[in-house]
Chain A
Amino acid sequence: MLNVEELETGYGKKQVLFGINLEAVEGKITAIIGPNGSGKSTALKSIFGLIPVWNGNVIYNGEPIANRGTRANVNDGIGFVPQGNRVFDEMTVLENLEIGGLHLRRDRFKEELKKMWGLFPELEKRKKQNAGKLSGGEKQMLALSRALIMTPKMLLMDEPSLGLSPKLVTFMMGHIRKINHEFGATVLIVEQKVREVLDLCDRVYSIKLGKVAFEGSPEELQKDKGKLKHLFL
């Protein structure tokens, strides 16, 4: 579904990624792990078009999509959930979802909105409340719903557990699995909470110093604690 080939990118003149390759298989959950500053989030942002790809290809359903802009990606069924429970905090919960579904027809939006209220009933209760006043967990639910309302075929998630309590992390991981199973969305997730994400994903990549240092099944890493430790040192 998504193939990243020899991807190079960075910020200004500073190169962060040095030719990474990865694949997200349709219907599966693929995780990217690695130490702080290794380039995980940068990889996700460049795949989605938030920062330019310097070299290499991003192929989505057989089509090159590198540097084509986020609007085209959203319209093509790619959703993005940024790091840090980010919501439009000066807008209401409903308005946040309206922004997520900006490119949908009104009747279709209403249908999708019902699904989101079903998935996260807490949000419906607070639909007229400013999103800035939500708790961390509720913000993450809203961030997820905002991306889901376009019924993406592929969901890119940047550290959804950041800033959440352990209980909420478990809750959120459960929902990501549900989204993958029930909504049929392919998930590419960047995560620091290694234990939780290894329980969740079907395939895992580890990025270290801007290069792919490991590629394989989560079980492989779960069995070999030494290798896992090495990837984070």
Chain B
Amino acid sequence: MSLTQTLVNSLSAAAVYALVALGFALIYNTVRFFHFAHGIVFTGGAYFVFLLKVWLGFPLFFSIIVAIGLSAILGCLIEISIYRRLRHKGASSLILLLASLGVYVVLQNIVSMVFGDDIKTIRSGMVEEGINILGTKVTPIQIAIIAVSLSLLVSCFLFLKYTKIGQSMRAVANDPELACASGIESDRVILATFALGSALAGIAGILVALDVDMSPTMGMNALMMGVVAVIIGGVGSIPGVALGALLLGMAQHLGVWKISSQWQDAIAFVILLIFLLFRPQGFLGRKIKKVTI
């Protein structure tokens, strides 16, 4: 494989990591706990499309749009039925993390029960050959992944900066009590954050399913890579998330190019450890005195 081919592949992987990471970071910044179930929302996006297109026979575009909506609803349902209740009872971040892990396991088992554990695919027919650009094969879905991810990153940046609800999300993330004192209803803002973050995770899951295939456990690995990208880039910074995802994707694929694909995850976690030890705030994040899980 050529270097340019490796770079294209790493860009495509980075684009997916960036979407998962952005969704995770939005939610984490607002509720301050490790939302494990974000991984199952990612899986959910892929399986919703499978259900609608393959089982129910709806057109692909329609299935994708509905699946994105269903992913957002899934995230909101988790927030309303589990997290909000626990928060109102004064649950700590650790309790919320454990609840989140529980939600992940239960929903992953439901996916396995309904769809089976075997690998599934949305594609029908043969794998399309890539377009030749300067000697590098780029598949249409890779182009779509990169374009969708880039446009969503820019849109989210503008949304958070210039819309009232986006500013409210940042205010709640910055200081929840002060936001409340300013007349912002935290629960509504948190719900909107879950909707947005979950839609992003769902889109990432759909893109991966369109590119390769899907299995009920696909969400955990994607979540881990997303979290590594957030830490590398810096919590709370969208450009940081994009940069973190890019570095992670590049390092993994260059590693595969030079070493072997079995080291892909190890490379990601070595980078994570290096950042945690020497630059815990990441590339563009602020210095933090205390971290809640």
Contact = CB atoms under 8 A, between A and B. Distances in A.
A181 interface: no
A50 B164 CA distance: 22
Contacts of A80: 181
Contacts of B184: 70-71, 99, 102
Nearest to A102: B164
A75 interface: yes
B106 interface: no
A89 B236 CA distance: 13
Contacts, number: 62
Interface residues of A, number: 25
B152 to A, nearest CB: 22
Given A70-B183, A102-B167, A91 B177 contact: no
B80 to A, nearest CB: 18
Given A50-B180, A82-B178, A91 B171 contact: yes
Given A74-B183, A75-B183, A90 B174 contact: yes
B236 A73 contact: no
Nearest to B188: A71
Interface in B123-176: 164, 167-168, 170-171, 173-175
Given A50-B177, A91-B167, 20 more contacts: A50-B180, A70-B181, A70-B183, A70-B184, A71-B183, A82-B177, A87-B178, A88-B171, A88-B175, A89-B174, A89-B175, A90-B173, A90-B236, A91-B170, A95-B170, A99-B167, A100-B182, A102-B164, A102-B167, A146-B182
Interface of A: 12, 48, 50, 69-71, 73-75, 80, 82, 86-91, 95, 98-100, 102-103, 146, 150
Interface of B: 90, 164, 167-168, 170-171, 173-175, 177-185, 236, 286
